[in-house]
Amino acid sequence: MLFLWIAVLVLAIVIEATTSDMVAVWFMPAAIVSLVLSLIPGVPWWVQVLVFVAVGLILVVATRPLCRRLLRGKRTRTNADALIGQICIVTEEIRNIDGLGEVKIGGLCWSARAKEAERIIPVGERVEIVAIEGVKLIVK
């Protein structure tokens, strides 16, 4: 059984090294514990297998959620996401019914639509970006 646990350990290391998600890391300690048990005279093979399964499952259940939370990191806003909540200036009257409207923010001009379909927003008014739909900013 010694060589079986060495093979399981090596296989878990190879799988973990070749995948981008943590899938086999919990079975490495389980294989090591079973490897140590196989060195003790008189420990039957079924006890080694039972310990391997138990240690592996306990580690998965106890630590996987924590590891995923720690490794996930914070969500980074994209440039477009960063525009939401910003104030911009209307450079072309916004009339949803005619499909017209433009705002300027950060030196760039964007097509814009009013959040309220019937609202007309005159040139020069300051508006807040509330959403992005495709390449158009939705403002109020």
Tens digit of pLDDT for each residue in 108-124?
Answer: 999 999 999 889 999 99
Residue span(s) of the chain under CATH 2.40.50.140 come to 79-139
* CA–CA dist 110, 129 (Å, integer): 11
Residue 70 has what pLDDT? 76
**pLDDT of 128 over the 90 cut:** yes
* CA–CA dist 28, 7 (Å, integer): 11
**pLDDT of 78 over the 80 cut:** no
**Cβ 110 vs Cβ 134: under 8 Å:** no
pTM over 0.75: no
| CATH superfamily membership of 79-139 | Nucleic acid-binding proteins (2.40.50.140)
